[in-house]
């Protein structure tokens, strides 16, 4: 053990709750045992994940350096899990239930970011913090230092109940039914380490929202979504929750389904426990890609799911914790430090005016506002965290929260302090304007640190931000109010489905080279708790995304009807029309030698690669045939969307299926030129040549995407609903991406067409 780790351990002895201290000690021991090879690597991997210690890009010991894949010569050859080298740095995810923090916690986080990570604390889209480039031996010390100020990393990752999120404005929002904070806190504490929540096949995400109309809680995309509602019975107001279940983003998003219009608070915890038991018992365990709760609900239907849960609820032994917390529930538990006031008069300060126009929000309590601290890409330095702690202490009673838009919100600021607070924030480099507007782009880690990243979501976001920063305050309000969200791959951690304009990373072959691309996703809705999901319309090279964004926003500005919101506009003009505006961006790509930068990603000068691929070795007739077929398949899946937009759900579902068959045929043709058009034959050949051989298997998702084809093929002729047609389109698009991925891997492995066909 490092000298400083031993010192922290003895210094913090007695300051950490016993249970937590024992768990951290046990984890420390497991680290030791794993090093001695006395714990299986798979078991250790899940153990560390449940402790919040996650893998990070290149921890398999390989890195493509722009010319070739090189081995990173880590000295310790043991592993932290399958394919994960012991010495490779990783990420630590730190749970912040409902985003609630205090200044002492900010300071500890600052010290940890400085001493153990790369000097940046990152706010995630689940109101967590993440620290990167952490060494596994240091994690128990980080956990102890966090635990000493009431923070845990437990169950931040792995197949567990993830951070319970909630509106950062809960308790102070003008539109809330009531303050959801104590309920979110109670659920988080109840489920943390609960024996009934340890046996899941996948993660499980709860959230709370104070109202239905705004986006703060995003209940529609959660496994458990609680929206505060009230009703009057016999003249008395009662609190409850509109309770939805089984939502989720991920590759194929699902809107959560209604479980109960009015779930009384006394039933909130027992029903959550019953759901955890049902999900633990009946949820998929083997096939990770179908293990989220939404699949159980899809398989069973909502009626059966609810029936099982209610049956389980009846069988639960009473637990006093179900209602104990209700005694302490009261609104306005937070108090202000300063008396309520009025805004000071400030003239001639353009920076202040901009910041004031975007970063402030009136509280329900007269004379107070909340102040959003806009964090570029969700990042903060240790000095900024300490400055923020000072500011929060100076102006409030220590009330600050993280947000799912990767910002911080300071609550209970007296209006009379607003200018002083602005100056304090600006002095610390965190007084940027634009919170919640087009500049405030949400992004996942992408290829910077995520093992699954395909394109550089952070690189693109930084580029878009720097371009938009120059003009966002001259823009028409219709544009500046748009939301943009970026994910590095289809997994949707950047929540691209619930933004006006979303992007997710994919790759394409151009002139024989891999080129990073982003799918442009339009029509999602951030408001109404993520009320509808967008669909991809076209893949565009990363370096052309800024141009694509300009075109989309210009087109919207020119063609919108009075007060027409972006989602309404997309529905009215149709995605086909918008796609035409972008069409030439998918063509006339520069030759590699003329513009090599086109073949690399934003913020990364290396020639782009999704794996360890050699370049430019594959060309000729068969490639053209493949590309031709894939262009067809992409067109067909897009047409499916147009059908869906036009209300033709049957046509949409059928066309999405046909697109999959077309893409499957593109691959089959590489090995078997004479394959017929008949879908049965294509699917059979595809299964034989690509599924049974595992060639189509994604390194992380396995055969999941091919199974979409098989499932669709087995259901030919079935009737589609708008939900199932939408799923068919999403699955069609993902299957096409999987075909692209397979093709790229084959090229890399030298299984080029000519070799295979000879």
Partner 1 sequence: MELQHVNIKIFVDGDLAVAPARFVDVFHEWVREQSLDEMLIDVADYRHVPAGPGVMLIALEADYNIDQTAGRWGLRYNRKSAIEGTNHDRFRQALAGAINACHLLEAHFAADGPLTFSRDEFELFINDRALAPNTPETYASCKPEIESFVMDVFGHSDFALTHHSDVRSRFGVNIKLTKPLDPKVVLDALQRNA
Q: Which pairing describes strands 165-166 and 206-209: parallel, antiparallel, or unpaired?
A: parallel
Contact pick of 115, 527, 612, 632 for partner 1 (by CB under 8 A) = 115
Two tokens, residue 138: 């240091």
List, in sequence order, every residue forming a beta bridge with 536; answer none if it has no partner: 521
- Smallest separation (angstroms) from partner 1 to the CB of 92: 15
List, in sequence order, every residue forming a beta bridge with 24; answer none if it has no partner: none
487 binds, among ligand SF4, partner 1, none (CB under 5 to 8 A by kind): ligand SF4
Please give the size of the binding site for partner 1, defined by CB under 8 A.
Answer: 52
Binding window for ligand SF4 (CB under 6 A); candidates: 37-45, 208-216, 423-431, 487-495: 487-495
66 binds, among ligand SF4, partner 1, none (CB under 5 to 8 A by kind): partner 1
Distance CA(496)–CA(441), nearest Å, equals: 10
Q: Which of the residues 401 through 440 are near partner 1 (CB under 8 A)?
A: 429-430
Q: Does 493 bind ligand SF4 (CB under 6 A)?
A: yes
Of the two residues 215 and 384, which places its CB atom closer to partner 1 in the complex? 384
Of the two residues 326 and 462, which places its CB atom closer to partner 1 in the complex? 462
Distance CA(12)–CA(292), nearest Å, equals: 38
Contact pick of 365, 381, 568, 648 for partner 1 (by CB under 8 A) = 381
Distance CA(481)–CA(434), nearest Å, equals: 9
Is the CB of residue 223 less than 8 Å from the CB of residue 216?
no
Contact pick of 34, 48, 50, 57 for partner 1 (by CB under 8 A) = 57
Q: Which pairing describes strands 206-209 and 224-233: parallel, antiparallel, or unpaired?
A: parallel
- Smallest separation (angstroms) from ligand SF4 to the CB of 702: 15
65 binds, among partner 1, ligand SF4, none (CB under 5 to 8 A by kind): partner 1
Of the two residues 372 and 456, which places its CB atom closer to ligand SF4 in the complex? 456
10 Å Cβ neighbour count for 32? 13
- Smallest separation (angstroms) from ligand SF4 to the CB of 304: 31
Quick one: angle between helices 575-582 and 545-559, nearest 10? 130
Quick one: angle between helices 103-116 and 382-395, nearest 10? 170
Of the two residues 35 and 625, which places its CB atom closer to partner 1 in the complex? 35
Distances (CA, A) of 635 to 585, 628, 663: 15, 11, 11
- Smallest separation (angstroms) from partner 1 to the CB of 438: 16
DSSP strands (E only) in 374-471: 379-380, 400-402, 408-414, 442-443
Find the angle CA(470)-CA(473)-CA(476) to the nearest 5 degrees.
120
Nearest alpha-carbon partner for 632 in 481, 744, 736 = 736
Binding window for partner 1 (CB under 8 A); candidates: 2-10, 284-292, 354-362, 732-740: 2-10
DSSP type of residue 489: S
Contact pick of 255, 491, 529, 707 for ligand SF4 (by CB under 6 A) = 491
Distances (CA, A) of 17 to 105, 155, 186, 191: 16, 17, 18, 17
Distance CA(681)–CA(703), nearest Å, equals: 19
Q: Does 681 bind partner 1 (CB under 8 A)?
A: no
Q: Does 2 bind partner 1 (CB under 8 A)?
A: yes
Nearest alpha-carbon partner for 289 in 202, 162, 220, 197 = 202
119 binds, among ligand SF4, partner 1, none (CB under 5 to 8 A by kind): partner 1
- Smallest separation (angstroms) from ligand SF4 to the CB of 452: 4
Site map 603..632 versus partner 1, x via CB under 8 A? xxxx--------------------------
Find the angle CA(529)-CA(457)-CA(519) to the nearest 5 degrees.
75
Is the CB of residue 447 less than 8 Å from the CB of residue 454?
yes
491 binds, among ligand SF4, partner 1, none (CB under 5 to 8 A by kind): ligand SF4
Two tokens, residue 312: 């389980």
DSSP type of residue 498: G
Q: Which residue has the tokens 């970011």?
A: 113
Please give the size of the binding site for ligand SF4, defined by CB under 6 A.
Answer: 14
488 binds, among partner 1, ligand SF4, none (CB under 5 to 8 A by kind): ligand SF4
Q: Which residues of 736-754 are buried (b: 16+ CB within 10 A; e: fewer)?
A: bbbbbbbbbbbbbeeebbe
Distance CA(499)–CA(522), nearest Å, equals: 8
Q: 703-706: long-range contacts at Cβ-Cβ below 8 A with a sequence spacing of 24 or more?
A: 704/251, 704/287, 704/289, 704/290, 705/731, 705/734, 705/735, 705/737, 705/738, 706/735, 706/738
Q: Does 452 bind ligand SF4 (CB under 6 A)?
A: yes
Of the two residues 601 and 753, which places its CB atom closer to partner 1 in the complex? 601
Two tokens, residue 480: 């500046």
- Smallest separation (angstroms) from partner 1 to the CB of 41: 20
Contact pick of 39, 46, 69, 133 for partner 1 (by CB under 8 A) = 133
Contact pick of 210, 336, 376, 494 for partner 1 (by CB under 8 A) = 376
The DSSP-derived string for 23-67 is: HHHHHHHHHHHHHTT-S-HHHHHHHHHHTTEE--TTTTSEEE-SS
Q: Does 734 bind ligand SF4 (CB under 6 A)?
A: no
Is the CB of residue 219 less than 8 Å from the CB of residue 529?
yes
Of the two residues 239 and 386, which places its CB atom closer to partner 1 in the complex? 386
Of the two residues 176 and 289, which places its CB atom closer to ligand SF4 in the complex? 289
Q: Does 453 bind ligand SF4 (CB under 6 A)?
A: yes
Distance between start and end Cα atoms, the chain: 58
Q: Does 448 bind partner 1 (CB under 8 A)?
A: yes
Q: Does 462 bind partner 1 (CB under 8 A)?
A: yes
111 binds, among ligand SF4, partner 1, none (CB under 5 to 8 A by kind): partner 1
Contact pick of 25, 39, 46, 63 for partner 1 (by CB under 8 A) = 63
Q: Does 445 bind ligand SF4 (CB under 6 A)?
A: yes
Binding window for ligand SF4 (CB under 6 A); candidates: 53-61, 137-145, 199-207, 444-452: 444-452
Task: Please report how many Cα atoms fall inside a 13 Å half-sphere around the Cα of residue 242, on the Cβ side.
Answer: 19
- Smallest separation (angstroms) from ligand SF4 to the CB of 128: 12
Of the two residues 91 and 633, which places its CB atom closer to partner 1 in the complex? 91
Find the angle CA(705)-CA(710)-CA(714) to the nearest 5 degrees.
145
- Alpha helix (H) residue ranges in 513-562: 527-530, 545-559
Of the two residues 384 and 480, which places its CB atom closer to partner 1 in the complex? 384
- Smallest separation (angstroms) from partner 1 to the CB of 464: 11
Residues in the chain: 758
Of the two residues 165 and 461, which places its CB atom closer to partner 1 in the complex? 461
Q: Does 386 bind partner 1 (CB under 8 A)?
A: yes
Q: Does 456 bind ligand SF4 (CB under 6 A)?
A: no
Q: Does 450 bind ligand SF4 (CB under 6 A)?
A: yes
- Smallest separation (angstroms) from ligand SF4 to the CB of 536: 14
Find the angle CA(528)-CA(532)-CA(538) to the nearest 5 degrees.
140
Q: Does 379 bind partner 1 (CB under 8 A)?
A: yes
> Which residues here bind partner 1, judged by CB under 8 A?
2-5, 7-8, 11, 57-58, 63, 65-67, 70, 72-75, 87-89, 107, 110-111, 114-115, 118-120, 132-133, 135, 376-377, 379-381, 383-384, 386, 429-430, 448, 458-459, 462, 465-466, 603-606
> Which residues here bind ligand SF4, judged by CB under 6 A?
444-446, 450, 452-453, 457, 487-489, 491-494
């Amino acid at each position: 053990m490092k000298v400083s780790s031993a010192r922290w351990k003895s210094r913090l002895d007695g300051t950490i709750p016993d249970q937590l201290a024992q768990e951290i000690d046990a984890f420390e021991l497991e680290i030791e045992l794993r090093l001695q090879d006395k714990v299986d690597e798979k078991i250790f991997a899940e153990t560390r994940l449940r402790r919040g210690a996650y893998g990070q890009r290149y921890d398999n010991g390989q890195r493509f350096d722009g010319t070739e894949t090189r081995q990173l010569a880590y000295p310790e050859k043991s592993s932290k899990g399958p394919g994960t080298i012991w010495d490779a740095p990783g990420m630590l995810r730190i749970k912040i239930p409902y985003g609630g923090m205090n200044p002492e916690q900010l300071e500890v986080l600052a010290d940890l970011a400085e001493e153990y990570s790369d000097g940046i604390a990152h706010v995630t889209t689940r109101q967590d913090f993440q620290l990167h480039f952490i060494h596994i031996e240091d994690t128990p010390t980080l956990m102890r230092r966090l635990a000493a100020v009431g923070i845990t990393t437990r169950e931040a990752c792995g197949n567990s109940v993830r951070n319970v999120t909630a509106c950062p404005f809960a308790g102070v929002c003008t539109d809330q039914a009531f303050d959801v904070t104590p309920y979110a806190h109670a659920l988080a504490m109840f489920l943390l380490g609960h024996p009934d929540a340890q046996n899941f096949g996948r993660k499980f995400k709860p959230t709370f929202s104070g109202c239905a109309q705004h986006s703060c809680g995003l209940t529609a995309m959660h496994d458990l979504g609680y929206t505060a509602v009230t009703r009057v019975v016999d003249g008395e107001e009662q609190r409850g929750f509109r309770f939805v279940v089984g939502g989720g983003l991920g590759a194929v998003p699902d809107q959560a389904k209604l479980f109960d219009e009015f779930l009384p608070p006394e039933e909130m915890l027992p029903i959550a426990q019953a759901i955890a038991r049902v999900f633990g018992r009946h949820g998929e365990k083997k096939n990770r890609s179908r293990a989220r709760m939404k699949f159980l609900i899809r398989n069973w239907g909502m009626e059966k799911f609810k029936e099982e849960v209610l049956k389980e609820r009846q069988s639960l032994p009473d637990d006093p914790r179900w209602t104990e917390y209700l005694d302490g529930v009261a609104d306005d538990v937070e108090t202000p430090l300063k008396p309520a006031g009025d805004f000071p008069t400030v003239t001639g300060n353009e920076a202040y005016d901009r910041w004031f126009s975007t970063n402030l929000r009136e509280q329900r309590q007269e004379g107070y506002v909340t102040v959003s601290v806009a964090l570029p890409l969700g990042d903060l330095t240790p000095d900024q965290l300490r400055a923020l702690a000072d500011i929060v202490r100076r102006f409030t009673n220590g009330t600050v929260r993280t947000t799912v838009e990767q910002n911080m919100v300071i609550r209970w600021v007296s209006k009379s302090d607003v200018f002083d607070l602005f100056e304090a924030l600006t002095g610390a480099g965190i007084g940027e304007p634009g919170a919640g507007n087009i500049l405030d782009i949400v992004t996942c880690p992408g290829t910077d640190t995520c093992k699954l990243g395909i394109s550089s979501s952070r690189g693109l976001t930084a580029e878009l931000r720097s371009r938009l920063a120059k003009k966002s305050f001259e823009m028409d309000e219709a544009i500046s109010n748009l939301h943009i969200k970026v994910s590095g791959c289809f997994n949707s951690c950047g929540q691209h489905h619930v933004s006006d304009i979303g992007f997710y990373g994919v790759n394409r072959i151009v002139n024989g080279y891999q080129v990073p691309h982003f799918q442009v996703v339009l029509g999602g809705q951030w408001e109404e708790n993520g009320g509808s999901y967008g669909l991809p319309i076209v893949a565009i090279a990363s370096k052309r995304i800024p141009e694509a964004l300009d075109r989309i926003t210009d087109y919207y500005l020119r063609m919108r009807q009075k007060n027409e919101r972006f989602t309404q506009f997309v529905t009215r003009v149709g995605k086909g029309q918008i796609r035409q505006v972008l069409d030439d961006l998918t063509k006339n790509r520069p030759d590699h030698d003329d513009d090599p930068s086109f073949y690399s990603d934003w913020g990364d000068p290396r020639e782009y690669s999704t794996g360890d691929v050699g370049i430019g070795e594959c060309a000729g007739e068969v490639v053209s045939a493949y590309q031709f077929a894939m262009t067809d398949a992409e067109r067909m899946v897009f047409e499916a969307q147009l059908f869906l937009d036009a209300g033709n759900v049957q046509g949409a579902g059928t066309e999405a299926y046909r697109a999959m068959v077309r893409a499957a045929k593109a691959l089959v043709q590489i090995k078997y030129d004479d394959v017929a058009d008949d879908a049965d034959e294509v699917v059979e050949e595809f299964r034989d040549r690509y599924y049974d051989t595992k060639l189509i298997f994604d390194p992380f998702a396995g055969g999941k995407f091919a199974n979409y084809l098989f499932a669709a093929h087995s259901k030919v002729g079935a009737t589609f609903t708008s939900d199932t047609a939408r799923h068919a389109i999403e699955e069609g698009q993902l299957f096409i991406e999987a075909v692209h991925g397979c093709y790229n891997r084959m090229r890399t492995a030298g299984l080029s067409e000519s070799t295979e066909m000879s």
